[in-house]
A and B are shown apart, each in its own frame.
Chain A
């Protein structure tokens, strides 16, 4: 029997980071009391009309340029008609035949190497409200705060061949939309939501019937859901069954997907161009301006880090995980000099990342500024601090909080962390230890390496850890 191939395409809804809604002036802020951020347009009162949010369009353009797509100079808003209580107009304004962004691709790095995922399109649309089925004694509550929130729906070609690839793509996309500042990427609040189209086939055979899995609101769930779905489909076919095209919902509690609605139940959405909105015209000058204002993209920045700062590819990729992280790195490196870039990288990928993870905060909110980290690196480099002392200063700075203007030298002095690098003082310590340990000295002279280390240990102990270890090494060797 031939091998199974997995075919996955993703549809991602990225909530655009505009202050106001896609077609109205109401606020998009999350978490307000129900129906307090829904204006007459969002409520679909009789007579109201939509006006497209220029900021949302601009974000779509920025995305298109970032993925090397075509920006359609004319695109069409269309109505997707269906009845649901949280859809006030009885239709959703979306883009159907002609989206604003067409094509493009995203290159991802998986355990197997680099891979390019082709994008089909990205189109602008508005979100629906929320139906609240709990707490209303059998009735349903409607919250229209989310109604009209701008979304960019980003659709891939069926280019991913494993759950791992799908997750890596989704993470890369997530990083990109945050990098270019079009989406806050908050998955808990639903700002970044993925649906996966999954099918399987035997090698060489035509594409299998696909199922769409909805409700993948974390990368972990996405991986589990796709893996479950792949196994389900393969088992079904191997048992002589057939995959039915349907929409399935992932249930994170049991780790399984279950049928939500079949293709036969699918609505006829009766798409047609929205007559309230003229075709969306995007001039070349607008595209050119967005291009000029585009931040350096992560791949380009990583390549530059490798070339300019002589960093390993892994470090460069990690440092460009987010724009804020990369900017932090460059700010600190500019202070300490290119030659010390790798040391900054080590601190950021080691101590700093660990602390950020431990405290679950973003780099934007880190209590240690890049200027402070640069000062720390400088003090380690000039021998004022040992590595261990540096870590202690790092911890002290972290504890004192973001707002403190702590001078690093004051922290070092306050905690007496200054390393002893004074030649004469060190020499005296070395002489004392040698005088007190004639037996060990003899062992060293007989060629026992362990005995040498024992002497170093004794000197460090005598200095309460403050002796500069490399200087101690040099002195010891000279004296023995």
Chain B
């Protein structure tokens, strides 16, 4: 057995190793399980680890390979964000409400990744019900950033981001409602993509804000993201918002051989708003350096305007809580999940169950959402926000008439310290300014590592494209990654070999 350095191994490399019989899937799974066990006390990236299930799946993959089967994900260990339903393995949404909930079915993307032969290692921690940007609202304790343990990993897919960055899994799934894949990817120095709304079925993904939620992959490279997305995407009749499009190979543009100017003809749109006062200097510096690199690869830049993007945060923080307030009504203690032990009557049962089962951030958003949908406020908040949402989407459409991709920082800052923002929700909400637009417009967007701040924390750049431009975004990121090594850097202390 010759295992590669798992702190930096990519899915593509591991797949090649499995194909070459350098190691078995079972050996690989065991190695990752050992890394998880070693890192769990410090990082706390997983809510649930499933060694038995992982070993069984790995053995099955090895058997399948021995029988002549192959595939990019056959025998590849993965982690699922803990809001994707996994049959027989608990799905908590990092909430007390579902702390012991075991689903009787698999989410669509879980099924898809299982069918591709991947091996599920466990479920990663998140902000409770995906509400947050730091994974500090998890009922199962904070998750730490592998690059600096007193910094947050970002959120809400913070467990997945930390696990990939620390080499506890080669890749993981995330969900992105306002930046929950891209922001933690940026904070943890990994690559993540939120596809066009409707590309990945939401069936079996616990809904936060249904019109904004999308699943997507988080990995060590754009190439790996393409492999995962190809398996995850596809039409599902159980989700009425799933788009009936033919299956796509998102790796298809990556296969062309490298050339000196692989991005020839790519027009990069640069909106002012992404380079304004609120962006930290080290972040700006890293983005500008990345732009130089992209132009060296043949891309050109063009200024574009997104005049309404400034309204995206208030728009989002009306619409997302509105949908959430309704989506979370099913957690009522009647059929499953937490139920208060003592109560006087039905109303008391509801109140105590939900008061005990939900954390503060979830309650805050349910309250906001209930308020904006209330009689007399609906027009002023919900309806108005829907109109602004349309304007923001129109802005992007206009911008994409002039460019192929919009580039900027994923987040205005690098990862803040634990606790630094958790007492100030508004400040934390404002950090979502660059990521929310893609959710409101339903556009694909990804975060790609592009440098480090002087304090050693990673910086991510965001690429946003028109609808269904995932393959192109992934290719641009891939060409950048062929020319740079930001994505190959690993946090100190994570190489336990």
Contact = CB atoms under 8 A, between A and B. Distances in A.
A51 B237 contact: yes
A272 B378 contact: yes
A49 B330 contact: no
Contacts of B346: 85
Given A91-B329, A272-B378, A51 B240 contact: yes
A408 B329 CA distance: 66
Contacts of B209: 275
A46 B329 contact: no
B336 A45 contact: yes
A47 B207 contact: yes
B329 A83 contact: yes
B329 A89 contact: yes
A50 B205 CA distance: 13
Contacts of A265: none
Contact of B240 (A44, A45, A49): A49
B248 interface: no
Q: Which of B98, B210, B329 has most chain A Cβ within 10 Å?
A: B329
Contact of A47 (B85, B211, B322, B374): B85
Nearest to B383: A272
Nearest to A280: B240
A180 interface: no
B107 interface: yes
Q: Which of A46, A48, A270 has most chain B Cβ within 10 Å?
A: A46
A34 interface: no
B239 interface: yes
Contacts of B83: 47
Interface string B264-281: 000000000000000000
Contacts of A89: 329-330
Nearest to A267: B375
Interface residues of B, number: 45
B318 to A, nearest CB: 11
A47 B237 contact: no
A45 B334 contact: no
A146 B378 CA distance: 31
Contacts of B239: 49, 51
A277 interface: yes
A44 to B, nearest CB: 4
A50 B237 CA distance: 10
A74 to B, nearest CB: 15
B202 A49 contact: yes
A96 to B, nearest CB: 11
Nearest to A140: B346
A48 B240 contact: no
Contact of A81 (B84, B331, B373, B382): B373
B326 interface: yes
B373 A276 contact: no
Interface in A65-95: 79, 81, 83, 85, 88-91
Interface in B100-116: 101, 103-105, 107
10 contacts: A40-B105, A47-B204, A49-B240, A270-B370, A270-B374, A270-B378, A271-B378, A275-B241, A276-B207, A277-B240
Nearest 4 A-B pairs (CB), nearest first?
A: A90-B329, A275-B211, A275-B210, A270-B373
Interface of A: 40, 43-52, 79, 81, 83, 85, 88-91, 142, 268, 270-272, 275-278
Interface of B: 83-85, 91, 93, 98, 101, 103-105, 107, 202-207, 209-211, 237-241, 322-323, 325-326, 328-332, 334-336, 346, 350, 370, 373-375, 378, 382
Given A49-B238, A81-B325, A90-B330, 12 more contacts: A40-B105, A44-B330, A46-B101, A47-B84, A47-B207, A49-B202, A83-B329, A85-B334, A88-B335, A91-B329, A270-B375, A276-B210
